Amino acid sequence: MVPDSGPRVLLGVSGGIAAYKAADLVRRLRERGCVVRVVMTEAATAFVSPLTFQALSGAPVRISLLDPAAEAGMGHIELARWAQRILFAPATADLIARLAAGLADDLPTTLALATRAPLYLAPAMNQQMWLHPATQDNLERLRARGARILGPAQGSQACGDLGPGRMLEPIEIATALLADLLPDAVNPPPSTAAAGPLAGVRTMVTAGPTREPLDPVRFLGNRSSGQMGYALAAALAQLGAEVCLISGPTALPGPAGVTRVDVETAAQMHAAVFERIGTIDLFVAAAAVADYRPAAPAERKIKKETAELTLQLIRNPDILAEVAALPHPPFTVGFAAETDQVEAHALAKLSGKGLDLIAANQVGGDQGGFERAENALICLWREGRRVLPMMPKTRLAGELAQLITERYLA
Ligand code: C5P
């Protein structure tokens, strides 16, 4: 039985080797509370059996447009209306071309035409096919019509090539889709948000990891997915705030109604924040900023010539502490990810950095945190505390945004 509440995602699987990863994607989406129905192209069935998707989604899988028995159940127009999001993963070069041309020569492409739901594509193909101008033109046409393109990633391919064209990992695709679904899945629609409690409040959120270059091809990074910061930016926007999101590299699309500025290094994040901080009322630092960076990144790729290699690292500026120390600081909210003595360390950070509010969570072990869809927070301010128990990050972001609003307006 398929549960009937939760974001309704129609997953279209097309015929590429990455189709096997779509099976895991169904699980990842369902773990996050989505109701998933799967349609496949004929070619996709050569890679994965429809039965696999039926078992994982808990619903019948449709392949043919001209199937009288299936049409007697949920007909294709009904299915197109049912979907809140249509996600094609993997999206092959052929499917992308047919979608761009507006063809309706099989069930998945017909559904894409018959729906008003936003379209998401996770491309997967050989790197030469990806780079071909025909594919790039088709993607541009789809983008111009509002489709979101998730990925692809770079790397080694099933065909032995190296380059762009690998499908993003299922968890990255599910996270990107969910971050975007937050506004209508968790919060009130934007029409009511404009008049929300944070109307007119100029807000800045930092999110995601930073990358500190070692040489032109390597960097020091961390495991932050950006999920929490993005969900928080979306939730604050839904409460009426004007939100500027300063983001390190993530696979997530920018939430609706949020201005996004992309950066890579801590120094770039620092510059992007301080360029705008004079006009900000509320500052939320959710980014996992590298504390140190290589002192002298090499101009050329470092060769493996010696048995040992010592890296010299130097401190990065603490963006949050510097913002809180401004003569007229905005209301500042920080995060503390701790492996032990969570509350004690968070309290020390609250007063040490001079923050208005801190949200602390335990990382490591089985406790949520990085690369997890769930998390729990202990929120502390000078006069009080509130525990937000373990829940999906999108809901947690909504609750934290409520608390930030209360404390900001207090
Ligand atoms: O001191 P610690 O790094 O644990 O503090 C975490 C908090 O500080 C987070 O809110 C993070 O976004 C922020 N931070 C920052 N700049 C840094 C390091 C951390 O804004 N260089």
Residue 195: the pLDDT is 57
Residue 403: the pLDDT is 92
Q: What is the pLDDT of residues 190-219, one digit of tens each?
A: 444 455 889 889 999 999 999 999 999 999
Q: Tell me the CA–centroid distance for residue 190 and ligand 1, in Å.
A: 31
Please report which confidence band the pLDDT of residue 331 belongs to, taking 50, 70 and 90 as the band edges.
very high
Q: Which two tokens stand for residue 302?
A: 């470092």
Of 181, 203, 224, the one marking the end of a domain is: 181
Domain shared by 335 and 241, yes or no: yes
Query: Residue with structure tokens 């947690």?
Result: 396
- How far apart are the C-alpha atoms of 394 and 227, rounded to whole Å? 8
Q: What is the mean pLDDT of residues 221-239?
A: 93
Please report which confidence band the pLDDT of residue 265 belongs to, taking 50, 70 and 90 as the band edges.
very high
Q: Tell me the CA–centroid distance for residue 19 and ligand 1, in Å.
A: 39
Domain shared by 148 and 223, yes or no: no
Residue 33: the pLDDT is 85
Domain shared by 113 and 60, yes or no: yes
- Crossing angle of helices 170-186 and 393-409, rounded to 10°: 50
Active site residue 159: yes
Q: Which of 313, 319, 326, 350 to mutate to test the pocket of ligand 1 (most atoms within 8 A of CB)?
A: 319
Domain shared by 199 and 335, yes or no: yes
Q: Tell me the CA–centroid distance for residue 321 and ligand 1, in Å.
A: 8
Give the ligand 1 atom nearest the CA of 323: 20
pLDDT cut 70: percent of the chain above it: 93
* 135-157 CB burial, b ≥16 within 10 A, e <16: beebbebbeeeebbbbbbbeeeb
Residue 50: the pLDDT is 97
Mean pLDDT of the chain: 89
Domain shared by 200 and 163, yes or no: no
Q: Is the CB of 320 under 6 A from ligand 1?
A: yes
Q: What is the mean pLDDT of residues 353-380?
A: 81
Q: Which two tokens stand for residue 133?
A: 């101008």
Helix (H) or strand (E) holding 212: strand 212-213
Number of domain units in the chain: 2
- The verdict on residue 1 lying in a domain is no
Residue 188: the pLDDT is 37
Looking up residue 24, the CATH number of its domain turns out to be: 3.40.50.1950
Task: Give the CA-trace dihedral at 218, 222, 225, 229, to 10 degrees.
Answer: -120
Q: Which of 220, 282, 316, 318 to mutate to test the pocket of ligand 1 (most atoms within 8 A of CB)?
A: 318
Instruction: Please give the residue range of the domain that contains residue 165.
Output: 8-181
Residue 161: the pLDDT is 79
Domain shared by 323 and 388, yes or no: yes
Q: What is the mean pLDDT of residues 104-109?
A: 96
- The verdict on residue 3 lying in a domain is no
Of 181, 213, 245, the one marking the end of a domain is: 181
Please determine, for residue 270, whether its predicted confidence score (pLDDT) is greater than 70: yes
Give the ligand 1 atom nearest the CA of 317: 21
CA diameter of the chain: 71
Q: Which two tokens stand for residue 400?
A: 């934290």
Domain shared by 50 and 93, yes or no: yes
State the catalytic residue, choosing from 34, 159, 244, 379: 159
Domain shared by 141 and 201, yes or no: no
Of 121, 156, 181, the one marking the end of a domain is: 181
Q: Which two tokens stand for residue 252?
A: 């997530």
Q: Tell me the CA–centroid distance for residue 287 and ligand 1, in Å.
A: 7
Find the length of the chain. 410
- The verdict on residue 237 lying in a domain is yes
Alpha helices in 328-392 (DSSP H): 342-352
Protein residue with least CA distance to atom 17, ligand 1: 318
Q: Is the CB of 87 under 6 A from ligand 1?
A: no
